[in-house]
Structure 1
Amino acid sequence: MKKILILLTLLAGFSALDAARFYGEPPDEHHPWAVHDMNRPQPPLVVPGDEYGDPPSDAIVLFEGKQSQENWKHLRPDDKRKNDWIFTDDYMQAVRGSGYIATKEEFGDCQLHVEWAAPEEVQGSGQGRGNSGVFLLNGMVEVQVLDNYRNPTYPDGSAGSVYGVMPPAANALRAPGEWQSYDIIFRRPIVRDGEVLDSGRLTVLVNGVVVQDSTPLEGGGGHKTRQDLDRVFPEKGSLRLQDHGNPVRFRNIWYRPLRPRPLDGGTDGRLSVEATMNKRTEIAASIRKDAQSMEGVDKALRLLESIVYLENKEARADANQLIQAYLEEFAVASADDAESYRGKMLELDRAFHYLKKYQFIDGDNKLLKKVDKICKEQGWKKR
């Protein structure tokens, strides 16, 4: 039974590959790819961690033990720093007077995982208990770290808040001394020439519970003040952890870069007209280049596929010539040999009807009519 299921899965995969050409809606002025486009790059393979919170195969690990100390630097000068952060095989810990610590690595839009723990022995209250912060992009955006387990404080300064901007949707903390996990999806604000093109967004899960859901950043927030989106945010910056006078511990820190948005040159999603046309031109050229390694109908189909992205008279003429030669070959084939033409002829039929449907050719196209007639006369498709 298992072998049968595997075979059916493989056959379904082949069907999907066959159907992807001349299948979904073609590119338009804002989308360079067709719907269900097999010319689109396949997603990269990422092997997930063995357990929740473990770094996947493409993660950049920032802390996994004492040896990770080389990934970090103190921001407070040596002559003004009273203490250093503690690094052990199990955690790194803030020490009063040590100041902020930052990664040497700089990154921008990311998936970030951080685990932290406030002291088991409860001292202080409100903002004075287990206080620290996860600061992105050189400190411009803060996700608050605070032991507010049964410890009320101002909501936009609670654990999991975008500090000074948005309270968490829930208090999902475990008890003091237990390890807490933050999973953060960060998209930086994009401001160019004083115009806000994207306000940026932050999604945060605390211990697996969504507490920020694509929260607009509104400038990043701050202590007792708001910040407008009138600053230029860098494309990349360091991750910073805060010494707020409390011995908060951190472990298992890693990130994954996110794929670029269209504003950053990405080609997935809704693009500008100019970016779409540039990408369609690139795709069409790549398909035509690929066609040069083919012969006969396969080459013709690939050339016809290229004009879906960008019209090219030479590619169209070459395809028509190859198809005409194929039809002439079929015309003199014996009845016994006719069946061997079935697969390619049906591919041509589907291609021509697709091109007709989306107005790349008109309904009076001679090759379309010839192929359609052959397929019907041979009983290869339903009338």
Structure 2
Amino acid sequence: MKNLAFTAALALGAVSLAHAQQSGKPEDTEVYEPVPKVVKPAATPGAPPSDAVVLFDGKNLNEWVMTDDHNTPAKWKVAGGILTVDKTTGNIETKRSFGNYQLHIEWREPTSLTGTGQARGNSGVFLASIGKGDAGYELQILDSYENKTYVNGMAGSIYKQRVPAANPARKVGEWQTYDVAWRAPVFAADGKVQTPARVTVLFNGVLVQDNVELDGPTQYIGKPSYEGKAHGPSPIKLQAHGDKSEPLSFRNIWVRELP
């Protein structure tokens, strides 16, 4: 009984101390402004919310141009609500430029793939396209279901820079999803990076890049660096990779601009 009484006394003392350390009123820590804007969520998972910019809805490529010539409309193939890479024409990118954003994009590798490693359905989403060709920050697309390659070049990687935390890839022929939160780099007036880029990636609903900091734009050879690469808001680019495997397809692409 003495032990029970002692325990009860300790508990009562702890509660009293906690209350003694609090001062003021609950209203002192309640915030009412600014009020967040109202965004109507999509009726079905993966569909664009009310404030999204729809980049591809299965109908046309009105939001896209050729990367190497912005005066030329995108030449990839649209059929049956699906966008398929045309490797004979080159990369495509959005007409609009974006700073910080949330991106949703779905992609599918063809069942006819026969290559291995990097020659198996290779493509990429360049989160900021900062020049012609493959210049920018690449989120790798590849068949990574039981396909061995270097781990900083598998699906879900920030190519040659950040290894994904997991491999949730589905089999070829099945639709895969990337949901991305991109924070663009900020540069000082002298062109030096002030705040590096950061990115979060969910791959098929699995977190594979957790607010990782990037060392610069993608480099195929050598280490990434921001030196001499200052830029502002940029297009989002899709890659027509030069490997010989059958081209992959995309659908349901939308973006939400973030502050």
CA contact (8 A) 1:60 1:256 kept: yes
Distance, in Å, in 2 between the alignment partners of 1:250 and 1:170 is 22
Q: Which amino acid aligns with 1:60?
A: V
Runs of 4+ in 1 over 6 A off after TM superposition: none
Distance, in Å, in 2 between the alignment partners of 1:176 and 1:92 is 16
Distance, in Å, in 1 between the alignment partners of 2:183 and 2:228 is 15
CA contact (8 A) 2:193 2:230 kept: no
Percent identical pairs in the alignment equals 42
1:246-257 → structure 2 map (5 Å cutoff): 246-257=246-257
Distance, in Å, in 2 between the alignment partners of 1:151 and 1:19 is 56
Find 1:41's aligned residue among 28, 34, 38: 34
Q: Which amino acid aligns with 2:194?
A: L
Distance, in Å, in 2 between the alignment partners of 1:229 and 1:168 is 22
Q: Which amino acid aligns with 2:169?
A: L
Deviation (angstroms), 1:91: 1.1
Q: Which amino acid aligns with 1:63?
A: F
Structure 1 residue 223 and structure 2 residue 214: aligned?
no
Equivalent position of 1:71 in the other structure = 63
Distance, in Å, in 1 between the alignment partners of 2:122 and 2:170 is 15
Deviation (angstroms), 1:232: 4.7
Q: Can you give the 5+ residue segments of structure 1 that lack an aligned partner in the other structure?
A: 1-17, 25-35, 260-383
SS in 2 for 1:54: coil
1:76-225 → structure 2 map (5 Å cutoff): 76=68, 84-138=75-129, 139-192=135-188, 193-225=190-222
Distance, in Å, in 1 between the alignment partners of 2:69 and 2:31 is 54
Distance, in Å, in 1 between the alignment partners of 2:185 and 2:82 is 31
Post-superposition Cα deviations, 1:75-114, rounded to whole Å, max 9, x if no partner, equal 3459xxxx93101241111122221011111111100001
Distance, in Å, in 1 between the alignment partners of 2:46 and 2:123 is 21
CA contact (8 A) 1:164 1:225 kept: no
Post-superposition Cα deviations, 1:205-257, rounded to whole Å, max 9, x if no partner, equal 10000000011111123212212122454331111101114411011000001
Find 1:50's aligned residue among 34, 43, 51: 43
SS in 1 for 2:54: strand
CA contact (8 A) 2:191 2:230 kept: no
Post-superposition Cα deviations, 1:108-156, rounded to whole Å, max 9, x if no partner, equal 1100001000111221010001110001222421100001210011111
Q: Can you give the 5+ residue segments of structure 2 that lack an aligned partner in the other structure?
A: 1-24, 130-134
Q: Which has the higher strand share?
A: 2
Q: Which amino acid aligns with 1:224?
A: I
Please give the TM-score of this superposition, normalised by the length of structure 2.
0.80
Q: How many residues are treated as equivalent by the alignment?
A: 223
Distance, in Å, in 1 between the alignment partners of 2:230 and 2:43 is 35
Q: Which amino acid aligns with 1:49?
A: A
Post-superposition Cα deviations, 1:329-376, rounded to whole Å, max 9, x if no partner, equal xxxxxxxxxxxxxxxxxxxxxxxxxxxxxxxxxxxxxxxxxxxxxxxx
SS in 1 for 2:140: strand
Distance, in Å, in 2 between the alignment partners of 1:153 and 1:185 is 26
SS in 2 for 1:107: coil
Mark the CA change 1:216 to 1:177 in structure 2 (over 3 Å): closer, same or farther. Answer: same
